[in-house]
Amino acid sequence: MDQSLKVLLLAVWLGWTAGAQTVGVELLQEPLTPEEESYVQHGLNWMAQFYTEQGFHPRNQIKARVFANYAEFSEYQMVHRNFNDGSRPSPTAYYSVTADELVTWRTRTLKSLLIHESNHALLRSDFRHPPKWVNEGISECFEGFDFTGEQTLFLAQRPRLRKVKRYLTPDFGLRVVSVLDLSEREFNQAATDRGLDSYTRAWALVFYLWSKAGARGLGEMLQALKNGEPARDVLGRLLPGDLEQDLLSFYSRLELPPEGSSAPPR
């Protein structure tokens, strides 16, 4: 097995302990089950520890509005959400910067959605205006991690990897890297593109960066972006070589795990 892929078989552990920062959740609507609460709490604490170790200062409280069904969620979204940035109504969840709350409903992917949207709140605690690609790319990446055990498993976001495997054309790497050039409006408008939508491209770039440069590499990227350094310059420093070709080679070798499997991809 290629050495670069062996990292995907390992647990990623950032030194989280009982004394680390704890993130509280203020539930504004429906309660969570004990199993959901345990999963989300583990994930929130892990993400907060990640940001703390990278020199950021994540918040210690998140507001979550979980509706019982889609109809209630959709009605609330249409009344309270601002779509002036070119975004479209979400069928699952969103994070409102204005209201400072994440909003979702009791869908079957509730736990991972809470992780995804909570990451937006944690990242924006200390990086108010992150580029859209890194904001969504990290949230998608963390959404795929497994927070059920003692240690956090570094897993691919299965729906994104499945889509990547369908579109591994020779220009795959170029299309992934081009997500850096999208404005927030362009990113939102390309979110539902057939083929490699903007979310999939952002996930593919962040997951590759984490696989190659680890948590510190992603932390260095965030600090550099916060300081105004161009993303391509940072990627060139963290990932020397032919990035576009390396992306294609990496995802060509990465296997999709069986449906429902909790094992990391190989």
Q: Is 258 within a domain?
A: no
Q: What ranges make up the beta strands (E) of 75-232?
A: 93-96, 101-105, 152-153
pLDDT at 20: 60
Q: What is the pTM of this model?
A: 0.89
Q: Over the stretch 32-71, which tens digit does the pLDDT of each residue have?
A: 999 999 999 999 999 999 999 999 999 999 999 999 999 9
Domain CATH number, residue 185: 1.10.390
Pairing outcome for strands 152-153 and 11-12: antiparallel
Beta bridge pairs of residue 26: 63
- Which domain, by its residues, includes 128? 3-253
The number of distinct structural domains making up the chain is 1
- Return the pLDDT at 264: 39
Task: Tell me, yes or no, whether 262 lies in a domain.
Answer: no
Residue 243 domain flag: yes
Q: How distant, in Å, are the alpha carbons of 75, 124, 141, 142, 260 from that of 119?
A: 24, 8, 10, 8, 24
Question: Which segment, 22-26, 82-86, 229-233, is predicted with the most confidence on average?
Answer: 229-233
The phi, psi pair for 65, rounded to 5°, reads -110, 105
Share of residues in the chain with pLDDT > 90 (%) = 80
The 10 Å CB-count burial string (b at 16+, else e) for 174-200 is: ebbbebbebeeeebbbbbeeeebbbbb
Sign of the Cα pseudo-torsion (127, 244, 10, 165, in order): positive
Beta sheet of 101-105, edge-to-edge order = 24-27, 61-67, 101-105, 93-96
Name the residue with higher pLDDT: 4 or 254: 254
Does residue 163 belong to any structural domain of this protein? yes
Distance CA 237, CA 131 (A): 19
- Confirm whether 13 is domain-assigned: yes
The reported pLDDT for the residue numbered 260 is 56
Residue 263 lies in a domain: no
Residue 123 lies in a domain: yes
| Residue 25 host element (H or E) | strand 24-27
Domain annotation covers residue 264: no
Query: Which token pair is 223?
Result: 């600090």
CA distance linking residue 19 with residue 87, whole number of Å: 39
Radius of gyration of the chain (CA): 18
